[in-house]
Amino acid sequence: MNAIVSKNWVLARLYEPDIVIADCRFLLGKPDVGREAYLEAHIPGAVYLDLEKDLSAPICEHGGRHPLPDIDKFVQSLSKAGIGNDTRVVAYDDQGGAMASRLWWLLRYLGHSTVYVMDEGFSAWQKASFPVSAEQKVIVPASFVPHPQVELVVSVEEVKAKLHTAGTMLIDSREAPRYRGEVEPIDPVAGHIPGAINRFWSEGRRADGSWKSPEEQAERFADLSRDDELIVYCGSGVTACPNVLALTEAGFDKVKLYAGSWSDWISYEGNPVATGEEGKQ
């Protein structure tokens, strides 16, 4: 089964006992907006998982702007949300699937495969006149035993070691002007990791905001070799996740996340930086 599910699919399973719906709405730069929106209205029974409090660790010198959460603390968040090893998880947001994809990736990283992202997001759910609620469900804590899939993530040292090596392709998920180094609204250094190609994460969706089909995703990445190791990054490791999801939907099975991403890369003095169209295919 594909990882992207329709809002009708979610509606039909709204009250099935083994499903937990996770509201992941979050607005970068305005950290309280997502939780406030959740408290105002959410899919009935949904729990809220915060990008910076639940799905990331605190910022340090290295690790990027959204470091991967400590596994033990993340497992505590999952337990409080009622997510166990046998739970089917459906994540949604209103940010094009970026935040929901972060939860999707984290759960897969911990060995949990039955996790899905709801297509289109909460606004589309509301527009369809599907039920919403302001009530917060009483959650029975669940037991979640992590089984980390360490092959799904790479460190800055691994990225450095693999620069310009055959069989490895770096994919930068940011908008093209940021990739080229023409603008940089967030991080102190502009540009990209040398050799990286650019595939803006949002191009995984159609004009109406819905996710492209696996076949359409495959067309997006038609120039990439399925034999290559694909290392995906963005600014902080969040919007790289929808690209990882899209590549997975397209049938690529050697996809890894550079979790620290650009903000981690430039935190190390001496790491090379490229600008312009270098590395574009």
Express each pLDDT in 155-176 by its tens digit.
Answer: 999 999 999 999 999 999 999 9
In DSSP notation, 106-140 reads HHHHTT---EEEESS-HHHHHHTT---B-PPPPPP
Q: What is the pLDDT of residue 281?
A: 40
Domain 4-127 fold is Oxidized Rhodanese; domain 1 (3.40.250)
First-to-last CA distance in the chain? Answer: 31
Where do you find CATH 3.40.250.10 in the chain? 4-127, 150-265
What is the percent of the chain where pLDDT is above 70? 99
Q: Residue 234 catalytic?
A: yes
Please report which confidence band the pLDDT of residue 194 belongs to, taking 50, 70 and 90 as the band edges: very high
Would the pLDDT of 279 be above 60? no
CATH code 3.40.250.10 for 150-265:
yes
Provide the 3-class DSSP secondary structure of residue 60.
coil
Express each pLDDT in 78-90 by its tens digit.
Answer: 999 999 999 999 9
Q: What is the pLDDT of residue 277?
A: 85
Which listed residue (24, 60, 234, 241) is catalytic?
A: 234
